[in-house]
């Protein structure tokens, strides 16, 4: 038993394993870089880094072909910690190495936490528009809104994932009906049946605009500047499974569909997942400067008013390239523009572990300077001695 433990320890603390793991990580990163041309940056992160294994589809079955980011990173972390625990003897000569590796551990942990905690949203504002929510890049939701009170909306948001599996109808305490998904398309266009010239085909739904639409499924896109626009056919079920009708919901249908039921007014909308904030942003002015006589962009800037609900904050902010707004644990940065320079697109990022890389950088840089500095001094002293 003791032998087994020893060889176990020896394996995990060996430099050979370090080198092999590092080499594997190079291959992984290289392959992931190449695959970005096909998959785009988001899908690559999921496929190569935020996973224990990289899978290949062989005849429809996912086959693990290479260790993924979590696997290699995890083993490296174990290797690193284990060798320091088992070979730890403090000496000033080793302080640089210790510091560097401690920084590295911090960096790896930080990247793991980022992977777990980081959230990215988008905030689109037209000139003069005010919004108190940002929208997800990739996630969507089905919003069921109780709009009876003209001053106040009661929203029940159902995440897209819940629509994907067409199992039990969705039930919610605030809703007097249940929602059954009859069809779901991860990416689809909706078009008027008349325009399509195919009025004889049965409509996908019987209520509201759904009766006049056709759903055209599209392949899922991975391009970084495109997003999937899901659509679904849902049926609302009242008590004892009485059908209230079927609706087509899609992120392409901007206007919510309204109906009355149980003495209340309801709205239905499939939309980009929203994150509401206790404050709002108003776009005062977007400016897009170019270098004189050219189309080369010199600067993009959004002048916004930041106003918090409790009234404690009310100020104007200028967000431009390399100068984001940091507020409430979020970072708002200038990501794009649209509509002839009258719409700004801000990226909103939440990353609670943002401080770790800064610390790691200082520790590793300092550690290497100490380590190599010691080497250099020893080398110079030796040469002096020899001369």
Q: Which residues bind another protein (CB under 8 A)?
A: 14-16, 18-19, 22-23, 25-26, 29-30, 32-34, 36-37, 40-41, 44-45, 49, 107, 110-111, 114, 118, 120, 224, 290-294, 296-300, 321-324, 330-333, 335, 347-349, 351, 354, 357-358, 360-361, 364-365, 368-369, 371-372, 375-376, 379, 383
Please tell me what DSSP assigns to residue 170: B
249 CB burial (10 A radius; 0-12, 13-18, 19+): buried
CA of 162: how far to CAs of 159, 181, 286, in Å?
Answer: 6, 9, 38
* Six token digits for residue 280: 């709002």
**19 backbone dihedrals φ, ψ, rounded to 5°:** -60, -45
Length of the chain: 387
Min CB(340)–another protein separation in Å: 18
Structural contact between residues 133 and 369, judged by C-beta atoms closer than 8 angstroms: no
Q: Which is nearer to another protein, 257 or 371 (CB)?
A: 371
Min CB(124)–another protein separation in Å: 17
Min CB(53)–another protein separation in Å: 18
Q: Which is nearer to another protein, 43 or 155 (CB)?
A: 43
Min CB(67)–another protein separation in Å: 15
Angle at 25 between CA 19 and CA 26, to 5 degrees: 90
Min CB(55)–another protein separation in Å: 18
Q: Which is nearer to another protein, 159 or 336 (CB)?
A: 336
Rg over CA atoms, the chain: 28
Structural contact between residues 25 and 77, judged by C-beta atoms closer than 8 angstroms: no
Min CB(94)–another protein separation in Å: 12
Q: Which is nearer to another protein, 108 or 145 (CB)?
A: 108
Min CB(341)–another protein separation in Å: 13
Q: Which is nearer to another protein, 182 or 288 (CB)?
A: 288
Residues 6+ apart with CB under 8 A from 292: none
HSE value, Cβ hemisphere, 13 Å, CA-based, for 293: 0
Beta pairing class for 154-159 and 130-146: antiparallel
Q: Which is nearer to another protein, 77 or 147 (CB)?
A: 77
Q: Which is nearer to another protein, 12 or 184 (CB)?
A: 12
């Amino acid at each position: 038993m003791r032998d087994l433990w020893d060889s176990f320890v020896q394996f995990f603390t060996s430099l050979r394993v370090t080198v092999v793991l590092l080499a594997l990580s190079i291959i992984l990163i290289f392959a992931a870089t190449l695959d970005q041309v096909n998959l785009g940056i988001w899908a690559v992160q999921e496929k190569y880094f935020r996973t224990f294994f990289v899978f290949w589809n062989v005849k429809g079955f996912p086959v693990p072909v290479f260790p993924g980011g979590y696997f290699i990173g995890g083993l490296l972390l174990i290797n690193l910690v284990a060798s320091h625990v088992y070979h730890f003897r403090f000496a000033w000569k080793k302080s640089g190495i210790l510091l560097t590796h401690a920084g590295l551990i911090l960096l790896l942990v930080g990247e793991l936490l980022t992977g777990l905690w980081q959230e990215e949203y988008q905030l689109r504002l037209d000139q003069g528009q005010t919004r108190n929510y940002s929208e997800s890049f990739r996630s969507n939701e089905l919003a069921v809104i109780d709009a009876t009170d003209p001053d106040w909306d009661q929203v029940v948001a159902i995440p897209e994932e819940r629509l994907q599996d067409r199992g039990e109808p969705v039930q919610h305490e605030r809703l007097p009906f249940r929602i059954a998904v009859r069809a779901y398309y991860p990416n689809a266009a909706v078009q008027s049946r008349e325009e399509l010239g195919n009025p004889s085909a049965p409509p996908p739904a019987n209520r509201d605009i759904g009766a006049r639409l056709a759903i055209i499924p599209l392949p899922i896109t991975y391009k970084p500047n495109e997003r999937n626009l899901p659509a679904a056919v849902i049926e609302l079920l009242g008590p004892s499974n009485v059908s209230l009708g079927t609706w087509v919901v899609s992120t392409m249908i901007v206007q919510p569909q309204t109906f009355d039921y149980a003495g209340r007014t309801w709205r239905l909308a499939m939309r980009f997942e929203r994150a509401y904030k206790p404050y709002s942003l108003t776009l005062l002015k977007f400016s897009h400067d170019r270098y004189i006589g050219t189309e080369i962009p010199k600067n993009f800037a959004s002048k916004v008013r930041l106003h918090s609900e409790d009234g404690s904050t009310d100020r104007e902010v200028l967000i431009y390239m390399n100068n984001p707004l940091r507020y409430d644990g979020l970072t708002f940065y200038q990501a794009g523009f649209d509509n002839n320079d009258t719409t700004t697109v801000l990226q909103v990022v939440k990353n609670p572990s943002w401080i770790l890389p800064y610390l790691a950088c200082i520790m590793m840089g300092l550690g290497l300077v100490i380590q190599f500095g010691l080497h250099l001094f020893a080398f110079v002293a030796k040469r002096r001695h020899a001369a």
